[in-house]
Amino acid sequence: MGIHIWVRVLSFSGLLLLLVVALRSEPAMLLLSGDLQALRELAGGSVGVLMLATLALMIIQNLFTIIPLILLISVNVSLFGFTYGYLWSWVCSIAGGVVSFLAVRYWFQSLFAKRMNERLKDKIEGNGFLFVFLGRIFPFVPTSAVNIAAGISSIRLSHFVYSTMIGNLLYFFVLALVGLGILSIRLEKAAFFTLGGAVVVAYVSYRIWRGRRKKLQNRDIPG
C-alpha cells in the first residue's frame, strides 16, 4: 500500500481508539446515564468543561450515530437552559457535521466514489443543498448517514454547512421542545413530514418554473 493509504488507515484506527476511550470516560458515562448532578460536581461547576464534554459527544454522534440525538439535546437544555441549550446543541451539530464531512471526504471519497451509482451521484451533487436539508429535518434519517453520503459525493462544503445550519436550526428546536415534554414524539414526526413535504413541493415548483423560463428565453433568442 502507498504511504497515503497507510496514513488514512492509521489515522482512522486512531480515531476509533479515541472514540472508545471517550465513550468509556467518566464524563461521557455520566452524560449518557443522565446523572447531570454528578456531572456538575465532576466538572467543579465549570461551564466550559460541560460545554467541551457535550461538544465531544455531538462530534461522536455525527461520526457514528450510536448516541440518540434527542438525548444530547435534552442534556444540553437541562444543563444550560432552553435557549442556551438549544443554541449550543445547534452550534455543536454544525461543528460535528463539518468534522464528519471532512473526515469522510479524506478517508473514503476516493474509495466509494468509484463504486457509487453515477445517476444517484449526479442527483445528489446537483441537488446537494436540498439533499442535506431534507436529511436534517426528517427524523428517521441518521445524522451520520447524511454526513457520509455528502462526504463521499462532491457536494460543496459551503452547501453542506448552510443546509445543515438551516435544517438543524428547525429540527433541533422541535427536539428541544420534545425534551421539555412540550411536544410529543408523534407530533414531532408529523410536523417534520409536513415541513419536508412543503419544502419538496416548493423546490419542484421552482425547478419547473425555472425550466419554463429558460425555454421562453431560448425562444426569444433569434436563430
pLDDT tens track, the chain, 223 positions: 566 666 666 666 676 777 777 767 777 777 777 777 877 777 777 888 888 888 888 988 888 888 888 888 988 888 888 889 999 999 999 999 999 998 888 877 766 666 666 776 677 777 778 888 888 888 778 888 899 888 888 788 988 999 899 889 888 888 888 766 654 555 555 555 656 666 666 666 656 666 666 666 666 555 4
pLDDT on residue 92? 95
Rounded-to-integer distance, Cα 207 and Cα 123, Å: 14
pLDDT on residue 78? 85
Query: Alpha helix (H) ranges present in 26-126?
Result: 26-33, 36-43, 47-63, 69-80, 82-107, 109-113, 118-126
Diameter over CA atoms, the chain = 77
Residue 16: φ, ψ to 5°: -60, -40
pLDDT on residue 198? 60
Helix, strand, coil share (%) of the chain residues, nearest 5: 85, 0, 15
pLDDT on residue 111? 67
Q: Which residues contact 148 (CB under 8 A, 6 or more apart)?
A: 100, 104, 108
Rounded-to-integer distance, Cα 183 and Cα 210, Å: 38
pLDDT on residue 205? 62
